């Protein structure tokens, strides 16, 4: 994807190569640009992926200012304010569309082409965003994202009216997974696009469990936690933690485990381990080396994976892999 917007700077801002303030969240292999005025610094990081465009703007504002943003194409954005300070306001100049970017609250926006004004109050602000391919939200997947339907439809119809969805919480868990993505991007590897898309899908999935206006209150907490745990195992494998699932739902891990056991009749830890074993089964037959599987599934190495498989099945990793391969070969014959 290509950049479809730009900041129109006033004459007081000059490009600089050596800004006084370092970036708070460096993005690996991102393109950097920096501007300074007498009072303020603005830093930009951008990463152009095939299926998503990642951008991060960091503002050090000692004198409040307004920025004009020119948008060339209609696009769907997801934006994460990363600092818990003050609200940032914006508006479209040729249409009655206003929006607020509140501390620790993310937002999805359908941004139609046009000119916008962003008001930056005094303070330190960070906005991280993705331009998202709306084609990701096709049936039946869109049913899980009912809060985005009107934005996806607007993009499909190339509407000239800008829109905003309900917000979602941006806390330590979201910031953690953004930082993981920032640290592993590498356009020089063949799987970079897969990594970017996989992490973006996970972040989008995570956002639907953190909506400020909950559209899923009819589902039992245990059901929603199971859905999120399924997603986290596929994303993080052995690094998926029950305490992180609990944190997403603003509850205690022990309380959540009790609710899960009461609803499903199985301990949440045991269910998590069964999911992880199933994930290992899918991958271990695809790789020749056990170390490759261990790394992809989130273990520190083959020894840790071997201990887990031995605990779950009584088999070593090598024998577990051999039995799965024999079963697969038998089915193919």
Per-residue pLDDT in tens (0 to 9) along the chain, 333 residues:
788 999 999 999 999 999 999 999 999 999 999 999 999 999 999 999 888 899 999 999 999 999 999 999 999 999 999 976 789 999 999 999 999 999 899 999 999 999 999 999 999 999 999 999 888 888 887 888 989 999 999 999 999 999 999 999 999 999 999 999 999 998 888 888 888 999 999 999 999 999 998 666 567 899 999 999 999 999 999 999 999 999 999 999 999 999 999 999 999 999 999 999 999 999 999 999 999 999 999 999 999 999 999 999 999 999 999 999 988 888 776
Within 10 A of 131 (CB to CB), how many other CB atoms are there? 23
Instruction: Taking the CA atoms of 246, 81, 178 and 143 in sequence, report the sign of the dihedral they define.
Output: positive
Give the pLDDT of residue 138: 83
Q: Which token pair is 164?
A: 């905003």
Integer Cα distance of 252 and 16 in angstroms: 47
Q: Which token pair is 16?
A: 């600089």
Cβ(108)–Cβ(148) below 8 Å: yes
Q: Which token pair is 329?
A: 């070969």
Nearest CA to 149 out of 248, 235, 215, 201 is that of 215
Instruction: Taking the CA atoms of 173, 178, 179 and 181 in sequence, report the sign of the dihedral they define.
Output: positive
| Candidates 1.10.3720.10, 1.10.260.40, 3.40.50.300, 1.10.10.60; CATH matching 219-332 | 1.10.10.60
What do you get for the CA distance between the two ends of the chain, in Å?
Answer: 44
Structural fold of domain 5-175: Jelly Rolls (2.60.120)
Give the pLDDT of residue 285: 92
Identify the bridge partners of residue 119 per DSSP, sorted by sequence position. 66, 89
Give the pLDDT of residue 215: 60
Nearest CA to 138 out of 128, 148, 130, 129 is that of 148
Record the pTM. Answer: 0.91
Integer Cα distance of 217 and 224 in angstroms: 9
12 SS3 class: coil
The ranges assigned to domains in the chain are 5-175, 219-332
Cβ(190)–Cβ(146) below 8 Å: no
Give the pLDDT of residue 275: 97
In the chain, the largest separation of any two C-alpha atoms, in whole Å, equals 74
Give the pLDDT of residue 167: 93
């Amino acid at each position: 994807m290509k950049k479809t917007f730009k900041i129109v700077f006033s004459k007081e801002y000059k490009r600089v190569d050596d800004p006084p303030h370092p970036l708070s969240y460096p993005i690996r292999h991102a393109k950097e640009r920096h501007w300074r005025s007498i009072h303020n610094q603005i830093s930009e990081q951008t990463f152009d992926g095939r299926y998503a465009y990642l951008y991060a703007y960091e503002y050090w504002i000692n004198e409040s200012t307004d920025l004009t943003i020119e948008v060339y194409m209609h696009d769907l954005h997801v934006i994460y304010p990363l600092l818990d300070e003050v609200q940032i306001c914006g508006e479209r100049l040729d249409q009655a569309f206003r929006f607020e970017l509140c501390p620790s609250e993310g937002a999805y926006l359908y941004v139609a082409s046009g000119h916008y004004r962003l008001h930056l109050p005094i303070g330190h602000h960070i906005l991280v965003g993705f331009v998202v391919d709306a084609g990701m939200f096709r049936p039946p997947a869109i049913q899980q994202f009912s809060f985005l339907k009107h934005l996806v439809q607007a993009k499909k119809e190339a509407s000239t009216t800008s829109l905003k969805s309900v917000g979602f919480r941006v806390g330590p868990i979201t910031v953690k997974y953004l930082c993981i993505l920032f640290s592993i991007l590498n356009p020089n590897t063949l799987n970079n696009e897969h990594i970017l898309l996989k992490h973006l899908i996970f972040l989008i999935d995570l956002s639907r469990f953190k909506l400020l206006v909950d559209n899923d209150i009819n589902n039992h907490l245990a059901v929603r936690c199971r859905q999120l745990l399924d997603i986290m195992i596929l994303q993080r494998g052995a690094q998926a933690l029950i305490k992180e699932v609990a944190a997403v739902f603003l509850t205690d891990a022990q309380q959540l485990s009790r609710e899960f056991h009461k609803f499903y009749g199985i301990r949440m830890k045991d269910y998590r381990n069964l999911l992880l074993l199933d994930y290992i089964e899918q991958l271990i037959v695809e790789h020749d080396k056990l170390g490759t599987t261990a790394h992809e599934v989130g273990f520190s190495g083959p020894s840790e994976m071997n201990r887990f498989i031995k605990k779950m099945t009584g088999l070593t990793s090598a024998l577990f892999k051999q039995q799965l391969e024999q079963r697969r070969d038998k089915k193919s014959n």
